[in-house]
Amino acid sequence: MTRIVFLGPPGAGKGTQAARLAAELGIPHLSTGDMLRAAVAQRTPLGLEAQGHIEAGRLVPDDLVLRILTERLGRPDARAGFVLDGFPRNLAQAERLEQITPLDLVVAFEIPAAQLVERLSGRRICPACQTVYHVTNRPPKVPGRCDFDGTELVQRPDDRPEAVRTRLAVYAQQTAPLVDHYTRRGLLRTLDATGSPEDVARRLRQLVG
């Protein structure tokens, strides 16, 4: 059983590494960002309530995120473990998570702010299968098209510069204090998130064991 949380600023590469590690370990990649974006795309009541917060770069209210995450964690595939990416994002969420499941490891991604902005401004995603690309660091085989289904790639609305500024400030104020929280619980390991995705994946595998 491997229950891992990824903590780190926007653009640190959490989603890229979580998808990869989860596939290697045969456990699900649970991204609250992906779950919320799917709810927005499907225009569910929860998605409609979350949309404005996401696009402005603010956190979605805790009760909405908890509803979506609790349902997902309750599905059978999550019983073997999970890589949780994007949750918790504040102390209240961390305390609620402790009531839902124990954790084995929290990985804190560390990377200079300038690299975050470069990664976010070049990110493109497939709106159909959610695969993440980067215009220079991870380009698709055919420019602007998903390698897997040919769908036209798009930029996330919250990757616009003003939303990125808000997301970085929200991370510093609300999420970064969780590093101390999980250090005190003896769960935290830091990961150097600079370098190529392959370099980061190699370091991550050493941490996870």
Q: Active-site residue numbers?
A: 14, 89, 123, 156, 167
Residue 112 CB neighbour total at 10 angstroms? 10
Question: Residue from 3, 21, 30, 32 that binds ligand AP5 (CB under 6 A)?
Answer: 32
Site residues for ligand AP5, window 190-209 (CB under 6 A)? 195-197, 200
Tokens encoding 115 = 């690299």
* Amino acid at the residue 21: L
Instruction: Select the residue whose beta carbon is closest to ligand AP5 and give its number.
Output: 33
Are residues 64 and 50 in contact, defined by beta-carbon separation less than 8 angstroms? yes
Stretch that binds ligand AP5, among 22-30, 83-91, 145-153, 177-185 (CB under 6 A): 83-91
60 forms part of the interface with ligand AP5 (CB under 6 A): yes
Which neighbouring-strand residues pair with 188?
A: 106
Show the binding pattern over residues 101-120: x = contacts ligand AP5 (CB under 6 A), - = does not: ------------------x-
Reduced to 3 states, what is the DSSP secondary structure of residue 29? strand
Q: CA dist 153 to 10, 130, 134, Å? A: 20, 10, 10
Stretch that binds ligand AP5, among 5-13, 73-81, 142-150, 177-185 (CB under 6 A): 5-13
